[in-house]
């Protein structure tokens, strides 16, 4: 069965919330010189609660639908056990090999961002894969490089200054003057190519335009709201649309609004948030100099790995 179409007027209207939030924050930033850090943190947390965490808390429903389509059996406990085991193994890897784990996280994030935004072109799977990876790298370059002075201290809490990752980061950052324009070109070309493939659907053009506005706002904003706008306001929202289309496809009576989906995600969202808060609380007790931001990104990496596998199956469905 084909994946249903995420390019609808309703979805364009929902992404308008992100666009409006981005424009308002940018105006605030330009008028005041800088949005106060507590406000940046509030924006990041609210956006993670609204879409960032819930978009991964529906993976069991996606897998269940996938099994149904393949006439297979879905066992929730088995699925959850495997999901948690992958997260625990990755957490252990972070402890033992932080450099490798961070490189892996950046790589899978690029792939995952690219896979969500670039439609599958069934006739050219290798080209699609390359385009997805290049696009994802460009998005990360666009988000991280304009904010080098905010990214570096976070990285230094995750890896050592004299390790390979940090020295590569400083080398990459010193080439910002051409890497940032190059990444914007890749994002633009990839957006035009995918909109062209979807020709005939004007909402696809609108969504692409909204993405460009979101990324432009991110350029002008500090790192945390810039990341929140793209990750929660774009990537997670688009994933929620795709999940909604996938699990209700062909069954219009179950075509429930996004709020119902959000409520369905609530139990696993709450478990994830409780885990994050508990980890933050215990680290703070034992390490007084503990900084919660690196922990937040490690946490995101742990939930990304099993989530990415589930979403890969969804994104590999031939678009309808």
Ligand X SMILES: CC1=C(/C=C/C(C)=C/C=C/C(C)=C/C=O)C(C)(C)CCC1
Q: What are the residues binding ligand X (CB under 6 A)? A: 56, 106, 109, 112, 140, 144, 151, 154-155, 227, 231, 297, 300, 304, 307
| Interatomic CA distance for residues 72 and 65, integer angstroms | 10
CB of 238 to ligand X, least distance (A): 11
Residue 188: CB minimum distance to ligand X, A: 21
User: In 3D, which of 52, 56, 55, 33 has the Cα closest to residue 44?
Assistant: 52
- Smaller CB separation from ligand X, 110 or 198: 110
Measured in residues, the chain has a length of: 320
CB atoms within 10 A of CB 174: 10
Q: Rounded to an integer, what distance in angstroms lies between the CA atom of residue 313 and that of residue 124?
A: 17
Q: Which is nearer to ligand X, 23 or 106 (CB)?
A: 106
Min separation Cβ 144 and ligand X, Å = 6
* Closest distance of CB 155 from ligand X, Å: 6
Q: What residues have CB less than 8 Å from 196, skipping those under 6 apart?
A: none
Asked if residues 200 and 181 have their Cβ atoms less than 8 Å apart, the reply is: no
Please, what is the minimum distance in Å from the beta carbon of residue 140 to ligand X?
Answer: 6
Least separation in angstroms between CB 199 and ligand X: 29
Residue with tokens 């890896």: 159
Nearest approach in angstroms of CB 291 to ligand X is 12
147 Cβ contact list (under 8 Å, min separation 6)? 222, 223, 226
How far is it, in rounded angstroms, from Cα 12 to Cα 203? 7
Nearer to ligand X, 247 or 296 (CB): 296
Kindly tell me which of 88 and 192 has the beta carbon lying closer to ligand X. Answer: 88
- Taking the least distance from each CB to ligand X, the nearer of 117 and 198 is 117
Q: How far apart are CA 222 and CA 9, in angstroms?
A: 30
| Nearer CB in complex with ligand X: 109/269 | 109
Q: What is the DSSP letter of 198?
A: T
User: Of 129 and 209, which has the nearer Cβ to ligand X?
Assistant: 129
Q: Which residue has the tokens 């990752």?
A: 165
Rounded Cα distance, 217 and 214, in Å: 5
């Amino acid at each position: 069965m084909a994946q249903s179409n995420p390019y609808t007027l309703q979805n364009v209207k929902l992404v308008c919330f992100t666009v409006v939030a981005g424009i308002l924050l940018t105006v605030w930033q330009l008028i005041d010189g800088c949005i106060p850090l507590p406000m940046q943190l509030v924006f990041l947390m609210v956006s993670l609660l609204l879409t960032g965490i819930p978009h991964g808390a529906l993976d069991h429903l996606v897998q269940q639908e996938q099994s149904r389509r393949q006439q297979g059996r879905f066992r929730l406990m088995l699925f959850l056990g495997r999901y948690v085991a992958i997260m625990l193994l990755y957490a252990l890897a972070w402890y033992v090999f932080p450099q490798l784990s961070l490189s892996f996280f950046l790589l899978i994030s690029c792939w995952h961002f690219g896979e969500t935004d670039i439609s599958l072109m069934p006739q050219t799977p290798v080209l699609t894969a390359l385009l997805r990876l290049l696009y994802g790298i460009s998005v990360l370059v666009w988000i991280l490089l304009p904010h080098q002075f905010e990214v570096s201290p976070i990285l230094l809490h995750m890896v050592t200054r004299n390790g390979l990752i940090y020295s590569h980061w400083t080398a990459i950052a010193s080439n910002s003057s051409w890497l940032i324009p190059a990444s914007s070109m890749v994002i633009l070309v990839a957006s035009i190519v995918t909109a062209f493939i979807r020709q005939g659907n004007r909402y696809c053009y609108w969504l692409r335009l909204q993405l460009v506005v979101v990324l432009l706002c991110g350029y002008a904003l500090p790192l945390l709201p810039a990341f929140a706008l793209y990750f929660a306001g774009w990537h997670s929202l688009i994933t929620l649309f795709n999940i909604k289309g996938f699990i209700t496809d062909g069954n219009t009576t179950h075509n429930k609004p996004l709020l119902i989906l959000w409520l369905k995600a609530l139990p696993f969202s709450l478990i994830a948030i409780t885990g994050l808060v508990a980890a933050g609380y215990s680290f703070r007790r034992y390490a007084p100099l503990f900084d919660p931001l690196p922990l937040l990104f490690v946490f995101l990496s742990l939930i990304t790995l099993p989530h990415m596998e589930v979403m890969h199956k969804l994104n590999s469905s031939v678009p309808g």
